[in-house]
Amino acid sequence: MVFLETTRAFIRYLNNEWCSKTLFTVMKQLKTDSIEEKRKAFKRRIKTKGIVLPGAYNALTAKQIKQIGFEGVYISGAALSASAGLPDIGLLTLSEFSFFIKYITQAVDLPCIADADTGFGEVINVVRTVQELETIGLTGMHIEDQIMPKRCGHLAGKTLVSEANMCEKIQAACAARKDDNFLIIARTDARSVEGFESAISRAKAYVRAGADAIFPEALQTEKEFEDFAKAINVPLLANMTEFGVSPMMSAKQLFKIGYKLVIFPVTALRVTMKNTENLYREIKKEGAQKSFLHKMQTRQELYDLIDYEAYAKLDKKAANYKNKNNESK
């Protein structure tokens, strides 16, 4: 991680034993297996056991996901776009997308899977996207078979690229990765455009092209989820987004019929936005927030989440060390 390397450089600069010990106490949550080992373990894990990936739309929510005890993080393009005040139609650039994601991958040592939309363009753009997203510490990414600009997977009016074009993108993505364990997940939006059988046909083609896993977007019944799982022999991702066309199914149900990844991409954002809306209405009406205190994360809970005290202690000790060093000169 970039932040960890900066930390080590800071330790070398100070060249002081207590500072080294204190700083690594502060950073202990970032001490983990290498990203390569993490990817390898995750890829091996989803072949046999299911994993729930709640959606994070910033580093703070990613920290909460880890705090609660989940095994991974999902980063939704829709949630990141909404956080920027934009609709989910591919308006964020790769650079903007990477900027947001880096805060998340540096904040937690959990496996992180990101939504890379259409790969931000054609085949050559997919190559650049894989190189960028692999470099910033993701465990994997998915690309979809819509044209660019795309639409939200649960809205009407989607248009697909040809099956051949999508296969070229998948092949290019697999060839571009440096780590073979960096997951390339192929999403197909064919169910809403060409029908269920076409979604299965495309998924099989994407597996032959090299996809490590398949994400069938916007399946419409529980039976479709079950039948799709019977037809595809690689790990499958199920999207349990709200207010869309797919039925609400539990992770337990989905694991039972063969899905290995279950995402809740925009759930936290929706809950947060509705609650903040209610808060703002209360402040507008009453000019006070007292009635919401019991619904708030306390100051101490926030400080615990971001490890504020450890950083404060480090800052104080670093200042004391510099003062003593100046006095001895």
List, by residue number, the catalytic residues. 74, 88, 115, 117, 142, 144, 152, 187, 217, 239
End-to-end CA distance of the chain: 36
Burial of 234 (0-12, 13-18, 19+ CB in 10 A): middle
Instruction: Determine the Cα–Cα distance for residues 286 and 308; give it in Å rounded to an integer.
Output: 32
Q: Does residue 34 contact residue 4 with C-beta atoms inside 8 Å? A: no
Three-state DSSP at 52 gives strand
Residue 168 structure tokens? 């070229």
What's the CA angle centered on 183, arms 174 and 6, to 5 degrees? 105
Distance, CA of 329 to chain centre: 50
Three-state DSSP at 121 gives coil
What pairs with residue 228 in β-bridges? none
Instruction: Determine the Cα–Cα distance for residues 216 and 235; give it in Å rounded to an integer.
Output: 11
Contacts of 263 (CB under 8 A, 6+ apart): 53, 54, 55, 74, 76, 113, 237, 238, 239, 240
Instruction: Determine the Cα–Cα distance for residues 77 and 144; give it in Å rounded to an integer.
Output: 12
Q: Smallest Cα–Cα separation from 170: which of 135, 118, 222, 216?
A: 118
Contacts of 65 (CB under 8 A, 6+ apart): 54, 56, 73, 108, 110
Whole-number Cα distances in Å, 227 to 142, 216, 224, 231, 258: 22, 12, 5, 6, 10
Contacts of 15 (CB under 8 A, 6+ apart): none
